[in-house]
Structure 1
């Protein structure tokens, strides 16, 4: 498993790839635009190394992630659209609050014309099982 951890001030993240076409991302702390940019760049690096040319899934674990500055929210609007362009097909999201769920739902509205689908979970194993089932027919 490719394990990356980046700490800078009040934020951290861990992005890793597992062989079933799934990127697992875990956010920690409160993020600024620098953190969000590093997060997006690492996702693109993993995609390029392991998933280029295929559809893929993302497990986004936000249970220890705190909210972010407004510029990060705007940036995430753009990044979701860019990730869909490079094959993001399914996303399983583990929120810690309803506010997080509402914010992520907003990103989904920006890419309704795509085949991207997002589901919300409270259990990581159920989220991974759903991603594996969703990705199986296309792999």
Structure 2
């Protein structure tokens, strides 16, 4: 009876963890910006989704199976955000091989939170804003 109880508890823990955490394999692929953004309001709640207008195209992002992060097919590191390599743990994307920019004062935006991820949509939280991405074909 004790072994059956222990088995049931182990299964419940495994199922609970599976539903909360994103497997890195789901992230692999090319993601295109949808130009939809959400920011935090002064009270700390998320505001409505808005479509941003920009004169400069936002590059696509690619997460490879080998742990590389690319923007428009090139190394993804830039000043203040991201790096050339990534790892996922507890729905947080952590970057390494970052680019040093001593002349720039940056907020800590190296860790990106995966808010939502399904077959065709990715929502990332980076530095108090959320952005939507669509999976590339």
Q: TM-score, normalised by structure 1?
A: 0.29
Q: TM-score, normalised by structure 2?
A: 0.29
Higher helix share: 1
